[in-house]
Amino acid sequence: MDAVELTQKLVRIPGVSGQEGAVADAVEQTMRDLGYREVTRDSFGTVLGQVGPEDASTHLLFDGHMDVVPVVGEWSVDPFGGEIRDGRLWGRGSTDMKGGLAAAICGVAAAAREGTLKHQVAVSATVLEETIEGVALGSVMDRIDPQAVVICEPTSLELKTAQKGRLEMLLTIHGKPSHAAYPERGVNAIDFAARALRALDAMKPVTSEELGKGILVATDIISDPHPSISMLPNSVTIRFDRRTLVGETQEDILSAMRDALTADNISNYDLKVTDSEVSAYTEKAFEPIRWMPAWSLDRDHALVAKAIDAIREMGDEPRLGVFGFCTNGSESAGVRKVPTIGFGPGAESDAHIIDESVDIGEVAKAAEFYRNLVTGMAGA
Protein backbone atom coordinates (compact mmCIF):
# COMPACT_ATOMS: atom_id res chain seq x y z
CA MET A 1 0.00 0.00 0.00
CA ASP A 2 1.42 3.41 -0.92
CA ALA A 3 0.89 6.70 0.91
CA VAL A 4 -1.88 7.95 -1.39
CA GLU A 5 -3.83 4.69 -1.08
CA LEU A 6 -3.44 4.81 2.70
CA THR A 7 -4.58 8.45 2.80
CA GLN A 8 -7.69 7.46 0.88
CA LYS A 9 -8.35 4.56 3.23
CA LEU A 10 -8.00 6.78 6.32
CA VAL A 11 -10.12 9.65 4.90
CA ARG A 12 -12.94 7.14 4.37
CA ILE A 13 -13.04 6.47 8.13
CA PRO A 14 -14.63 9.39 10.04
CA GLY A 15 -13.13 10.22 13.41
CA VAL A 16 -13.55 13.59 15.09
CA SER A 17 -11.56 14.29 18.25
CA GLY A 18 -12.46 11.73 20.92
CA GLN A 19 -13.87 9.28 18.37
CA GLU A 20 -10.74 8.08 16.57
CA GLY A 21 -11.15 4.38 17.48
CA ALA A 22 -11.94 3.07 13.98
CA VAL A 23 -9.09 5.12 12.45
CA ALA A 24 -6.76 3.70 15.11
CA ASP A 25 -7.83 0.15 14.19
CA ALA A 26 -6.96 0.79 10.53
CA VAL A 27 -3.63 2.44 11.41
CA GLU A 28 -2.67 -0.42 13.70
CA GLN A 29 -3.50 -3.07 11.08
CA THR A 30 -1.66 -1.14 8.36
CA MET A 31 1.48 -0.80 10.48
CA ARG A 32 1.45 -4.55 11.12
CA ASP A 33 0.93 -5.27 7.41
CA LEU A 34 3.82 -2.95 6.50
CA GLY A 35 6.20 -4.84 8.81
CA TYR A 36 6.54 -2.55 11.84
CA ARG A 37 8.42 -4.45 14.55
CA GLU A 38 6.12 -3.36 17.33
CA VAL A 39 2.69 -1.72 17.30
CA THR A 40 1.10 -0.67 20.59
CA ARG A 41 -1.62 1.60 21.95
CA ASP A 42 -1.55 3.71 25.11
CA SER A 43 -4.33 4.75 27.48
CA PHE A 44 -5.27 7.72 25.26
CA GLY A 45 -5.68 5.36 22.30
CA THR A 46 -2.67 6.66 20.37
CA VAL A 47 -1.14 4.03 18.07
CA LEU A 48 2.66 3.80 18.20
CA GLY A 49 4.58 1.89 15.54
CA GLN A 50 8.29 1.17 15.93
CA VAL A 51 10.93 -0.07 13.50
CA GLY A 52 14.66 -0.76 13.89
CA PRO A 53 16.61 -2.76 16.46
CA GLU A 54 14.73 -3.11 19.73
CA ASP A 55 17.71 -2.40 22.01
CA ALA A 56 18.85 0.73 20.12
CA SER A 57 17.91 4.31 21.03
CA THR A 58 15.08 6.07 19.18
CA HIS A 59 16.53 8.64 16.81
CA LEU A 60 13.35 9.93 15.25
CA LEU A 61 9.66 10.15 16.06
CA PHE A 62 7.21 11.13 13.33
CA ASP A 63 3.93 12.44 14.69
CA GLY A 64 0.58 12.71 12.94
CA HIS A 65 -2.81 13.11 14.57
CA MET A 66 -5.73 10.87 13.59
CA ASP A 67 -8.57 13.18 14.60
CA VAL A 68 -10.30 15.59 12.25
CA VAL A 69 -12.54 18.62 12.79
CA PRO A 70 -16.29 18.16 12.18
CA VAL A 71 -17.84 18.40 8.73
CA VAL A 72 -19.80 21.65 8.52
CA GLY A 73 -21.38 23.59 5.65
CA GLU A 74 -22.34 22.49 2.16
CA TRP A 75 -19.74 20.24 0.52
CA SER A 76 -19.58 19.60 -3.23
CA VAL A 77 -17.83 16.25 -2.61
CA ASP A 78 -18.50 13.40 -0.19
CA PRO A 79 -16.43 14.43 2.86
CA PHE A 80 -15.64 10.78 3.56
CA GLY A 81 -15.46 9.61 -0.05
CA GLY A 82 -11.71 9.99 -0.56
CA GLU A 83 -12.33 10.73 -4.24
CA ILE A 84 -9.20 11.33 -6.35
CA ARG A 85 -9.73 13.90 -9.10
CA ASP A 86 -7.56 16.57 -10.76
CA GLY A 87 -4.46 15.33 -8.93
CA ARG A 88 -6.07 15.84 -5.53
CA LEU A 89 -7.62 13.58 -2.92
CA TRP A 90 -10.82 15.06 -1.49
CA GLY A 91 -12.33 14.75 1.96
CA ARG A 92 -12.25 15.81 5.61
CA GLY A 93 -8.80 15.24 7.03
CA SER A 94 -7.10 14.82 3.64
CA THR A 95 -4.81 17.78 4.34
CA ASP A 96 -5.18 17.93 8.13
CA MET A 97 -3.72 15.45 8.38
CA LYS A 98 -4.32 11.95 7.17
CA GLY A 99 -2.08 12.66 4.14
CA GLY A 100 0.87 13.43 6.42
CA LEU A 101 0.13 10.55 8.74
CA ALA A 102 -0.14 8.08 5.84
CA ALA A 103 3.09 9.43 4.30
CA ALA A 104 4.93 8.95 7.61
CA ILE A 105 3.62 5.41 8.08
CA CYS A 106 4.62 4.44 4.52
CA GLY A 107 7.90 6.40 4.38
CA VAL A 108 9.20 4.91 7.65
CA ALA A 109 8.15 1.40 6.53
CA ALA A 110 10.02 1.89 3.24
CA ALA A 111 13.20 2.88 5.08
CA ALA A 112 12.86 -0.10 7.43
CA ARG A 113 12.44 -2.50 4.50
CA GLU A 114 15.88 -1.47 3.24
CA GLY A 115 17.18 -3.32 6.32
CA THR A 116 19.93 -0.87 7.25
CA LEU A 117 18.51 0.78 10.39
CA LYS A 118 20.97 1.08 13.27
CA HIS A 119 18.54 2.98 15.48
CA GLN A 120 14.86 2.88 16.22
CA VAL A 121 12.37 5.10 14.48
CA ALA A 122 8.76 5.52 15.59
CA VAL A 123 5.51 6.83 14.16
CA SER A 124 2.81 8.04 16.55
CA ALA A 125 -0.75 8.32 15.30
CA THR A 126 -2.02 10.56 18.09
CA VAL A 127 -5.52 11.50 19.24
CA LEU A 128 -7.28 14.73 20.29
CA GLU A 129 -4.84 17.14 18.63
CA GLU A 130 -7.67 19.34 17.39
CA THR A 131 -8.93 19.69 20.97
CA ILE A 132 -5.75 19.84 23.00
CA GLU A 133 -2.40 19.96 21.26
CA GLY A 134 0.46 18.02 22.82
CA VAL A 135 -1.13 15.92 25.55
CA ALA A 136 -1.30 12.70 23.50
CA LEU A 137 2.21 13.21 22.14
CA GLY A 138 3.47 13.74 25.70
CA SER A 139 2.20 10.30 26.65
CA VAL A 140 4.16 8.81 23.71
CA MET A 141 7.33 10.72 24.64
CA ASP A 142 7.09 9.49 28.24
CA ARG A 143 7.56 6.01 26.79
CA ILE A 144 10.14 6.32 24.03
CA ASP A 145 12.30 9.43 24.60
CA PRO A 146 13.17 10.25 20.96
CA GLN A 147 16.20 12.36 20.06
CA ALA A 148 14.25 14.32 17.45
CA VAL A 149 10.63 14.80 16.40
CA VAL A 150 9.05 15.49 13.01
CA ILE A 151 5.55 17.01 13.05
CA CYS A 152 3.88 15.82 9.84
CA GLU A 153 1.21 18.55 9.73
CA PRO A 154 0.55 20.29 6.38
CA THR A 155 3.40 22.61 5.36
CA SER A 156 3.20 22.41 1.54
CA LEU A 157 6.52 20.51 1.83
CA GLU A 158 8.14 23.54 3.45
CA LEU A 159 10.49 22.83 6.33
CA LYS A 160 9.13 24.48 9.49
CA THR A 161 11.53 25.38 12.28
CA ALA A 162 9.30 27.33 14.68
CA GLN A 163 5.73 27.65 15.82
CA LYS A 164 3.55 30.03 17.81
CA GLY A 165 2.09 28.63 20.99
CA ARG A 166 -1.45 28.92 22.31
CA LEU A 167 -3.06 29.93 25.59
CA GLU A 168 -6.80 29.56 26.07
CA MET A 169 -8.46 31.64 28.79
CA LEU A 170 -11.87 32.39 30.23
CA LEU A 171 -12.72 35.92 31.36
CA THR A 172 -15.81 36.00 33.56
CA ILE A 173 -17.34 39.42 34.20
CA HIS A 174 -19.61 39.51 37.22
CA GLY A 175 -22.71 41.71 37.15
CA LYS A 176 -25.71 42.26 39.35
CA PRO A 177 -28.96 40.76 38.05
CA SER A 178 -32.01 42.93 37.85
CA HIS A 179 -35.29 43.11 35.97
CA ALA A 180 -34.65 44.28 32.39
CA ALA A 181 -37.30 46.95 32.91
CA TYR A 182 -35.13 48.49 35.67
CA PRO A 183 -31.53 48.02 34.48
CA GLU A 184 -30.39 50.89 36.74
CA ARG A 185 -31.04 48.63 39.75
CA GLY A 186 -28.41 46.11 38.56
CA VAL A 187 -24.99 46.00 36.97
CA ASN A 188 -25.03 44.81 33.38
CA ALA A 189 -22.16 42.33 32.89
CA ILE A 190 -22.69 42.63 29.13
CA ASP A 191 -21.81 46.33 29.17
CA PHE A 192 -18.64 45.50 31.11
CA ALA A 193 -17.87 42.64 28.70
CA ALA A 194 -18.06 45.08 25.78
CA ARG A 195 -15.71 47.46 27.59
CA ALA A 196 -13.34 44.62 28.42
CA LEU A 197 -13.25 43.51 24.77
CA ARG A 198 -12.38 47.04 23.66
CA ALA A 199 -9.69 47.41 26.34
CA LEU A 200 -8.06 44.09 25.44
CA ASP A 201 -8.33 44.76 21.72
CA ALA A 202 -6.48 48.05 22.22
CA MET A 203 -3.49 46.32 23.85
CA LYS A 204 -0.27 46.62 21.89
CA PRO A 205 0.53 43.09 20.68
CA VAL A 206 3.91 41.54 21.45
CA THR A 207 5.81 40.73 18.27
CA SER A 208 8.87 38.78 17.19
CA GLU A 209 10.73 38.93 13.91
CA GLU A 210 10.47 35.19 13.43
CA LEU A 211 6.87 34.47 14.47
CA GLY A 212 5.09 37.80 14.03
CA LYS A 213 2.32 38.99 16.37
CA GLY A 214 1.06 37.44 19.58
CA ILE A 215 -2.60 37.47 18.56
CA LEU A 216 -5.44 37.76 21.09
CA VAL A 217 -8.89 36.85 19.83
CA ALA A 218 -12.27 36.19 21.49
CA THR A 219 -13.78 32.91 20.29
CA ASP A 220 -16.85 32.44 22.45
CA ILE A 221 -19.17 34.47 24.69
CA ILE A 222 -22.01 33.25 26.89
CA SER A 223 -24.18 34.70 29.62
CA ASP A 224 -25.16 33.04 32.89
CA PRO A 225 -27.98 32.14 32.84
CA HIS A 226 -28.17 31.35 29.16
CA PRO A 227 -30.57 32.38 27.81
CA SER A 228 -30.99 35.40 30.05
CA ILE A 229 -34.44 36.69 29.24
CA SER A 230 -36.01 39.81 30.68
CA MET A 231 -33.19 40.16 33.21
CA LEU A 232 -29.62 41.33 33.41
CA PRO A 233 -27.45 38.23 33.62
CA ASN A 234 -25.47 37.23 36.68
CA SER A 235 -22.27 37.06 34.63
CA VAL A 236 -20.81 36.88 31.12
CA THR A 237 -17.90 34.64 30.19
CA ILE A 238 -15.69 35.30 27.18
CA ARG A 239 -13.26 32.67 25.88
CA PHE A 240 -9.98 34.04 24.54
CA ASP A 241 -7.39 32.39 22.35
CA ARG A 242 -3.95 33.95 22.55
CA ARG A 243 -1.26 32.91 20.05
CA THR A 244 2.01 33.14 21.94
CA LEU A 245 5.65 33.81 21.11
CA VAL A 246 8.84 32.12 22.23
CA GLY A 247 9.74 33.05 25.81
CA GLU A 248 6.28 34.22 26.88
CA THR A 249 4.84 32.65 30.03
CA GLN A 250 1.24 32.18 31.12
CA GLU A 251 1.78 34.74 33.89
CA ASP A 252 3.22 37.33 31.42
CA ILE A 253 0.07 37.11 29.35
CA LEU A 254 -2.44 37.06 32.21
CA SER A 255 -0.83 39.98 34.01
CA ALA A 256 -0.71 42.13 30.85
CA MET A 257 -4.42 41.48 30.33
CA ARG A 258 -5.20 42.27 33.97
CA ASP A 259 -3.26 45.53 33.64
CA ALA A 260 -5.29 46.50 30.57
CA LEU A 261 -8.56 45.80 32.41
CA THR A 262 -7.43 47.67 35.52
CA ALA A 263 -6.43 50.67 33.39
CA ASP A 264 -10.03 50.78 32.16
CA ASN A 265 -11.37 50.54 35.73
CA ILE A 266 -12.72 47.02 35.25
CA SER A 267 -12.32 44.96 38.42
CA ASN A 268 -15.44 42.80 38.63
CA TYR A 269 -13.93 39.82 36.83
CA ASP A 270 -12.01 36.51 37.05
CA LEU A 271 -9.45 35.57 34.43
CA LYS A 272 -8.12 32.00 34.29
CA VAL A 273 -6.55 29.50 31.94
CA THR A 274 -9.09 26.88 30.84
CA ASP A 275 -8.83 23.35 32.14
CA SER A 276 -12.13 21.80 31.05
CA GLU A 277 -12.44 18.03 30.84
CA VAL A 278 -11.51 16.11 27.69
CA SER A 279 -12.36 12.46 27.02
CA ALA A 280 -10.44 10.11 24.74
CA TYR A 281 -12.19 7.37 22.74
CA THR A 282 -10.72 4.93 25.26
CA GLU A 283 -12.91 6.71 27.83
CA LYS A 284 -9.88 8.10 29.61
CA ALA A 285 -10.88 11.54 30.92
CA PHE A 286 -8.48 14.31 31.94
CA GLU A 287 -8.38 18.06 32.57
CA PRO A 288 -5.47 19.57 30.65
CA ILE A 289 -4.36 23.16 31.18
CA ARG A 290 -4.71 24.92 27.80
CA TRP A 291 -1.15 26.20 27.63
CA MET A 292 0.89 25.10 24.64
CA PRO A 293 4.19 27.03 24.47
CA ALA A 294 5.83 28.39 21.32
CA TRP A 295 9.16 27.01 20.11
CA SER A 296 11.96 27.69 17.68
CA LEU A 297 14.79 25.48 16.48
CA ASP A 298 18.09 27.06 15.48
CA ARG A 299 18.42 26.78 11.70
CA ASP A 300 22.04 25.71 12.19
CA HIS A 301 20.86 22.64 14.13
CA ALA A 302 21.97 19.24 12.78
CA LEU A 303 18.33 18.13 12.44
CA VAL A 304 17.66 21.01 10.02
CA ALA A 305 20.80 20.10 8.04
CA LYS A 306 19.68 16.46 7.79
CA ALA A 307 16.21 17.53 6.68
CA ILE A 308 17.70 19.80 4.01
CA ASP A 309 19.79 16.85 2.78
CA ALA A 310 16.67 14.69 2.61
CA ILE A 311 14.87 17.36 0.54
CA ARG A 312 17.82 17.80 -1.85
CA GLU A 313 17.99 14.01 -2.26
CA MET A 314 14.55 14.24 -3.90
CA GLY A 315 15.91 16.83 -6.33
CA ASP A 316 14.06 19.70 -4.63
CA GLU A 317 15.30 23.01 -3.25
CA PRO A 318 14.55 23.37 0.46
CA ARG A 319 12.14 26.12 1.54
CA LEU A 320 12.22 27.09 5.23
CA GLY A 321 9.43 28.68 7.22
CA VAL A 322 7.45 28.72 10.45
CA PHE A 323 4.05 27.29 11.39
CA GLY A 324 1.16 29.73 11.57
CA PHE A 325 -0.92 27.41 13.74
CA CYS A 326 -0.30 25.40 16.90
CA THR A 327 0.79 21.74 16.69
CA ASN A 328 1.89 18.85 18.91
CA GLY A 329 5.36 20.39 18.55
CA SER A 330 4.38 22.56 21.54
CA GLU A 331 4.87 19.44 23.65
CA SER A 332 8.00 18.00 22.02
CA ALA A 333 9.87 21.29 21.50
CA GLY A 334 8.02 23.82 23.67
CA VAL A 335 7.71 21.76 26.85
CA ARG A 336 10.33 19.02 26.48
CA LYS A 337 12.96 20.93 24.46
CA VAL A 338 13.47 18.00 22.08
CA PRO A 339 14.66 19.21 18.65
CA THR A 340 11.58 19.36 16.41
CA ILE A 341 10.81 20.25 12.81
CA GLY A 342 7.61 20.30 10.76
CA PHE A 343 7.21 18.92 7.25
CA GLY A 344 4.13 17.54 5.55
CA PRO A 345 1.92 17.42 2.48
CA GLY A 346 -0.98 19.81 1.95
CA ALA A 347 -1.40 23.54 2.51
CA GLU A 348 -2.23 25.12 5.86
CA SER A 349 -4.92 27.07 3.97
CA ASP A 350 -6.67 23.81 3.01
CA ALA A 351 -7.06 22.70 6.65
CA HIS A 352 -10.49 22.92 8.34
CA ILE A 353 -12.29 24.14 5.19
CA ILE A 354 -15.31 23.01 3.18
CA ASP A 355 -14.18 20.73 0.29
CA GLU A 356 -10.82 19.99 1.97
CA SER A 357 -8.35 18.28 -0.35
CA VAL A 358 -4.68 17.41 -0.65
CA ASP A 359 -2.29 17.31 -3.62
CA ILE A 360 -1.49 13.61 -4.06
CA GLY A 361 1.91 14.46 -5.54
CA GLU A 362 2.79 16.14 -2.24
CA VAL A 363 1.66 13.08 -0.27
CA ALA A 364 4.01 10.87 -2.31
CA LYS A 365 6.83 13.42 -1.97
CA ALA A 366 6.39 13.62 1.78
CA ALA A 367 6.67 9.84 2.08
CA GLU A 368 9.90 10.02 0.08
CA PHE A 369 11.24 12.79 2.32
CA TYR A 370 10.44 10.83 5.48
CA ARG A 371 12.17 7.74 4.07
CA ASN A 372 15.25 9.78 3.15
CA LEU A 373 15.35 11.42 6.58
CA VAL A 374 15.11 8.05 8.35
CA THR A 375 17.87 6.58 6.18
CA GLY A 376 20.02 9.66 6.74
CA MET A 377 19.57 9.78 10.52
CA ALA A 378 19.05 6.18 11.64
CA GLY A 379 20.54 4.17 8.78
CA ALA A 380 23.99 2.64 8.41
Q: Which residue in the shown chain puts its C-beta closest to Zn ion?
A: 96
Smallest gap from Cβ 184 to Zn ion, in A, equals 50
356 binds Zn ion (CB under 5 A): no
- In the region spanning residues 257 to 296, those forming contacts with Zn ion, defined by CB under 5 A, are none
The nearest distance, CB 366 to Zn ion, in angstroms, is 14
Q: Cα separation of 333 and 340, whole Å?
A: 6
Q: Under the criterion CB under 5 A, does residue 105 sit at the interface with Zn ion?
A: no
Asked if 97 touches Zn ion (CB under 5 A), the answer is yes
Q: In whole angstroms, how close is the CB of 154 to Zn ion at the nearest point? A: 7
Nearest distance from C-beta of residue 238 to Zn ion, angstroms: 26
**Residue 96 interacting with Zn ion (CB under 5 A):** yes
Stretch of 84-92, 117-125, 146-154, 233-241 lying at the interface with Zn ion (CB under 5 A): 146-154
Number of residues that bind Zn ion (CB under 5 A): 3
Residues of 307-332 as b/e, b for ≥16 C-beta within 10 angstroms?
Answer: beebbeeeeeeeeeebbeebbbbbbb
Nearer to Zn ion, 153 or 248 (CB): 153
What is the nearest approach in angstroms of Zn ion to the Cβ of residue 197? 29
- Side-chain half-sphere exposure of 261, counting CA atoms within 13 A: 20
Residues 81, 85, 89, 90: is their CA dihedral positive or negative? Answer: negative
The answer to whether residue 158 forms part of the interface with Zn ion (CB under 5 A) is no
Nearest 5°: phi and psi at 226?
Answer: -125, 120
Least separation in angstroms between CB 97 and Zn ion = 4
Of 151-159, 251-259, 291-299, 361-369: span binding Zn ion (CB under 5 A): 151-159
Which residues form the interface with Zn ion (CB under 5 A)?
Answer: 96-97, 153
